[in-house]
């Protein structure tokens, strides 16, 4: 998001001072205004929002670690980015532990209620999937929120501060407010019609019947009170207490204006579903690429498996900045193949047999890479391969093909490092801009619509099985890909982005730009993007089309303008690079979606 003003000064600690001295000195220097790149030492952060970055920096300066700072930033994003990040949603967190030089992940993905079956989104009157808009704006789309459980599990494993302490910066922003910018206004405006039909959502986000005007101050005292109560009562207030009962009641009986004509279907969530929820600590995905170790999220996310498979495929080609068109052609074709395999094989591993080891094997990648013609794009959609462990030659792909299923493009991503060298890459989301549209009455936050990330209709008889159908307690497939790259056991890069299924291609393209095309991380992140997700068209940003469109068209690629809101913009990435021991460069978007915010504890001179 673009610049917002925090009404109370952020605490800033000079090296060697103690927390008590900082608290006694409210006039201490503030963090600088929003900038997309910051280089220095002692800890670093990049988010889409200045207030969130300041919250993380405050924690780092007070001696907190990367996990602590990531939670503080995410909680603040729940205030300033309420349409994409909230405690009514979930996410995935990848963590590098400097002490053990190991990578760990925390799966806070939402789960389906126990009463949800594979036909949950099928209209019994027609036998077809519900219209997508109707599925989204409903209690039926609301998954059991995982964010608070994920914070709790990550903090208990690797944090050094209490959740209550880490919520304080966000409470301050919610109480004192932030300045409405173009992005916040526009996100409210595109939701205005449906928000107007949901009574507590209208009250919170359309107080005068219209989106808040640019330049005004937006406050959320209800969310401040919710955070304060969460700090006092802890996660059990949500997963077994009154807040959980209110969430379940909102999903089961959406608070729709009686005068509204919109059909808002009730959901299936119960308090028992909330009580049963668990955030998961999981092994990351891992591949090697050009001598580096690349770690990501394992299923239920498809981010780590699909990025990893595509990198394995690309490793079979010599890519050079001297021929960027050839490199981009290989990137698009590798993405196409990896997405075919993602659609066929990846789902919640608790309920689906995901052949993850084989999807990430070098043998399977070599078998897939031999299908890439350097002189010609393959017609899409291409068929999935057969990750069976028996690889040799150029195997014939499976006969059946599948179209790309829809996945909402809105989430947010942040990266943090601390003075000890710990690193966090973190995606947090409620799915669509505005999630389900349902605000928990009196609590100041929206509920997610993550369950529309499931396939909404079972496949036709005789078609290949779909690993992403709804099921009791199941986690819908995601594309979130918080990624950490190590060089001989030490962190080199951390990167991620929002963007639905374009997350995978954006992360992959940033890695290609940085590791193969010789770009510095700020250039790699700012470079124009294209996405190929096994669709007939390659969708791209205008600058990418201007620079590479004709050359790629000559190779058979149908390059079109990326259509999703905002039109022509893919993702809003953040990243870190360790330039040398102790020196970190934090990078956010310079212009996409108003630009992001990068900060470091001690700027390099």
> Which residue ranges are tagged as binding site?
109, 453, 478-479, 500
Maximal CA-CA distance, the chain = 70
CB 343 within 8 A of CB 405: yes
HEC letters along 508-554: HHHHHHHHCCCCCHHHHHHCCCEECCCCCEEEECHHHHHHHHHHHHC
Distance between CA atoms of 507 and 533, rounded to whole angstroms?
13
DSSP letter for 94, please: E
User: Would you call 318 exposed, middle or buried from its count of C-beta atoms within 10 A (0-12, 13-18, 19+)?
Assistant: exposed
CB 515 within 8 A of CB 292: yes
Which residues sit opposite 588 in a β-bridge?
Answer: 574
Give the residue ranges of DSSP H helices in 317-377: 324-345, 356-359, 362-369
- Is 216 marked active-site? no
Distance between CA atoms of 60 and 54, rounded to whole angstroms?
10
Structure tokens at 533: 């997700």
CB 479 within 8 A of CB 468: no
User: Would you call 30 exposed, middle or buried from its count of C-beta atoms within 10 A (0-12, 13-18, 19+)?
Assistant: middle
Q: DSSP secondary structure string, 212-231? A: PPTTSEE--HHHHHHHHHHH
Distance between CA atoms of 375 and 298, rounded to whole angstroms?
33
- CB under 8 A, 24+ apart: contacts of 399-403: 400/463, 400/464, 401/340, 402/340, 402/343, 402/344, 402/464, 402/466, 403/535
* Residue 218 φ/ψ, nearest 5 degrees: -105, 125
248: nearest Cα among 345, 139, 158, 394:
139
Distance between CA atoms of 236 and 241, rounded to whole angstroms?
6
371: nearest Cα among 359, 384, 362:
384
**Which residues fall in the annotated binding site for L-glutamate?**
109, 453, 478-479, 500
Using DSSP, state whether 148 is helix, strand or coil: helix
The dihedral through the CA atoms of 475, 479, 480, 483 has a sign that is: positive
Which of the following is catalytic: 226, 411, 412, 506? 411
Structure tokens at 300: 């239920």
Rounded to 5, what percent of the chain is helix, strand, coil?
35, 20, 45
Radius of gyration of the chain (CA): 23
Distance between CA atoms of 109 and 86, rounded to whole angstroms?
13
* Torsion angle defined by CA atoms of residues 248, 252, 258 and 262, in that order, rounded to the nearest 10 degrees: 120
Residues recognised as catalytic? 411
């Amino acid at each position: 998001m673009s610049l917002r003003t925090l009404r109370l000064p952020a605490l800033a600690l000079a090296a060697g001072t103690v927390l008590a001295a900082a608290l006694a000195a409210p006039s201490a220097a503030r963090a600088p205004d929003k900038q997309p790149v910051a280089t220095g030492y002692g800890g670093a952060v990049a988010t889409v929002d200045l207030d969130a970055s300041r919250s993380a920096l405050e924690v780092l300066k007070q001696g907190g670690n990367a996990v602590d700072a990531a939670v503080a930033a995410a909680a603040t994003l729940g205030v300033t980015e309420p349409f994409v990040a909230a405690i009514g949603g979930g996410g995935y967190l990848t963590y590098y532990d400097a002490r053990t030089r190991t990578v760990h992940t925390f799966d806070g993905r939402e789960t389906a209620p126990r009463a949800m079956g594979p036909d949950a989104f099928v209209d019994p009157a027609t036998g077809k999937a519900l219209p997508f808009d109707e599925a989204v704006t409903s209690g039926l789309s609301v998954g059991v929120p995982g964010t608070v459980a994920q914070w709790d599990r990550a903090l208990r494993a690797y944090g050094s501060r209490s959740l209550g302490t880490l919520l304080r910066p966000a409470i301050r922003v919610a109480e004192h407010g932030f300045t409405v910018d173009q992005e916040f206004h526009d996100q409210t405006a595109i939701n205005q019609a449906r928000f107007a039909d949901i009574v507590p959502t209208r009250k919170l986000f359309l107080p005068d019947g219209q989106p808040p005007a640019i330049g005004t101050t937006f406050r959320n005292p209800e969310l401040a009170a919710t955070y304060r109560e969460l700090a006092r009562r802890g996660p059990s207030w949500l997963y077994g207490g009154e807040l959980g009962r209110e969430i379940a009641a909102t999903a089961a009986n959406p608070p729709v204006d009686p005068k509204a004509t919109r059909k808002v279907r009730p959901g299936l969530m119960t308090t028992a579903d909330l009580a049963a929820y668990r955030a998961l600590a999981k092994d990351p995905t891992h591949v090697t690429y050009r001598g580096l170790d690349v770690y990501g999220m394992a299923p239920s996310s498809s981010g780590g498996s699909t990025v990893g498979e595509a990198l394995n495929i690309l490793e079979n080609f010599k890519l050079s900045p001297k021929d960027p068109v050839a490199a981009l052609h290989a990137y698009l074709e590798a993405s196409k193949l990896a997405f075919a395999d993602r659609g066929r094989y990846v789902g919640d591993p608790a309920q689906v047999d995901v052949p993850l080891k084989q999807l990430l094997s070098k043998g399977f990648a070599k078998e897939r890479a031999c299908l890439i013609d350097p002189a010609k794009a393959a017609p899409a959609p291409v068929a999935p391969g057969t990750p069976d462990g028996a690889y040799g030659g150029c195997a014939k792909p499976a006969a059946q093909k599948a179209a790309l299923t829809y996945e909402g493009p809105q989430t947010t991503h942040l990266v943090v490092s601390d003075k000890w060298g710990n690193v966090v890459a973190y995606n947090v989301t409620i799915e669509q801009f505005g999630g389900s549209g349902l605000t928990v009455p009196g609590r100041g936050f929206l509920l997610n619509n993550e369950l529309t990330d499931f396939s909404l209709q079972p496949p036709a008889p005789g078609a290949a099985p779909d690993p992403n159908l709804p099921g009791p307690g199941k986690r819908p497939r995601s594309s979130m890909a918080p990624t950490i790259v190590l060089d001989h056991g030490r962190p080199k890069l951390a990167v991620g982005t929002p963007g639905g299924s374009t997350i995978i291609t954006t992360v992959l393209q940033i890695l290609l730009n940085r590791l193969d095309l010789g770009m510095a991380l700020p250039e790699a992140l700012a470079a124009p993007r294209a996405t190929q997700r096994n669709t007939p068209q390659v969708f791209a940003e205008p600058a990418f089309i201007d620079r590479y469109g004709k050359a790629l068209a000559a190779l058979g690629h149908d390059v079109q303008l990326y259509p999703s809101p905002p039109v022509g913009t893919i993702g809003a990435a953040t990243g870190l690079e360790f330039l040398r021991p102790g020196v970190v460069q934090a990078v956010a978007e310079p212009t996409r979606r108003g630009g992001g915010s990068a900060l470091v504890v001690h700027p390099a001179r």
